[in-house]
């Protein structure tokens, strides 16, 4: 059975289109924004390198020079940029970041521990093209220290959420969620560590769904459709 992508000039066998990095005539470019250790970035980069995500990482950008993730990006031979945010007006910083993403031909942006709120203007430059990961089952516990918030509240299950970014904090249509039970002997650190393991799985799943272009949004829920 053959699948014709709307923009493609070639026919791509359906069996290949989900796995082959080259479809729609070129490889899709991911842009990663981070501020810290970058373990979610590393999980995505490992899956890209293993051919499990049909894309390449065209740029990794940090707003902090001391982010561990930027060192890791350099070690991997990726384009790694520091665009400092300290002391720079938000709109000016956003303009610089958007320019760098555009210069690198980014199709899809992954926020991976990027500790900055994007301005509405930034979000509008990439409609349904920015993903974020958050360590709770949204809409519960948005904001900082989400797994500690959940633990302190006394919930019995928590987890993580990958969602499209819109103009509001930790909001936007939900692509993937993973549930993590809270164990009786957990503290907020052990819970956060088990949630992080699930984040590393969830983010790549969500990237694959969005890159496939085979999804629909039902209400606020992103539903993968057959490829």
Considering the rule CB under 6 A, would residue 150 count as an interface residue with ligand GRF? no
Considering the rule CB under 6 A, would residue 116 count as an interface residue with ligand GRF? no
Angle at 145 between CA 141 and CA 148, to 5 degrees: 80
Q: How many residues does the chain have?
A: 227
The 41-80 site mask, x for binding ligand GRF (CB under 6 A), equals: ----------------------------x-----------
**Judged by CB under 6 A, which of 133, 137, 174, 207 binds ligand GRF?**
133
Annotated active-site residue in 93, 134, 163, 200: 134
Residue 134 annotated to the active site: yes
Q: With respect to ligand GRF, which residue has the nearer C-beta, 54 or 113? A: 113
Consecutive H or E run containing 129? none
Distances (CA, A) of 138 to 5, 67, 71, 129, 214: 33, 26, 31, 19, 23
Rounded CA separation 94/90 (Å): 6
Q: With respect to ligand GRF, which residue has the nearer C-beta, 12 or 108? A: 108
**Judged by CB under 6 A, which of 12, 30, 38, 176 binds ligand GRF?**
38
Q: The dihedral of CA 224, 117, 31, 29: what is its sign? A: positive
Residue that has been written with the tokens 């720079």 in this structure: 88
Give the residue numbers marked as catalytic.
Answer: 134
Which residues of this protein are in contact with ligand GRF, per CB under 6 A? 34, 36-40, 69, 112-113, 133-135, 196, 199
């Amino acid at each position: 059975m053959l699948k014709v992508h709307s923009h493609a000039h070639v026919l791509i066998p359906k069996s290949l289109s989900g796995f082959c990095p080259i479809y729609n005539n070129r490889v899709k470019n991911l842009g990663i924004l981070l501020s810290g250790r970058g373990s979610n970035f590393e999980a995505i980069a490992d899956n890209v390198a293993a051919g499990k995500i049909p894309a390449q990482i065209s740029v990794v950008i940090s707003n902090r020079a001391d982010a561990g993730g930027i060192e890791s990006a350099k070690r991997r031979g990726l384009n790694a940029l520091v665009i400092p945010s300290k002391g720079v007006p938000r709109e000016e910083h956003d303009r610089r970041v958007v320019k760098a993403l555009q210069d690198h031909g980014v199709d899809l942006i992954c926020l991976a521990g990027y500790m900055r709120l994007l301005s509405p203007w930034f979000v509008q430059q990439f409609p349904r093209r920015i993903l974020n990961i958050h360590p709770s089952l949204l809409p519960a516990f948005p904001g900082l220290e989400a797994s500690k918030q959940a633990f302190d509240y006394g919930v019995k299950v928590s987890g993580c959420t990958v969602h499209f970014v819109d103009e509001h904090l930790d909001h936007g249509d939900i692509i993937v969620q993973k549930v993590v039970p809270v164990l009786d002997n957990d503290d907020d650190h052990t819970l956060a560590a088990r949630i992080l393991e699930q984040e590393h799985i969830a983010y790549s799943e969500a990237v694959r769904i969005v890159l496939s272009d085979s999804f629909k949004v039902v209400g606020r829920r992103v539903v993968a459709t057959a490829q």
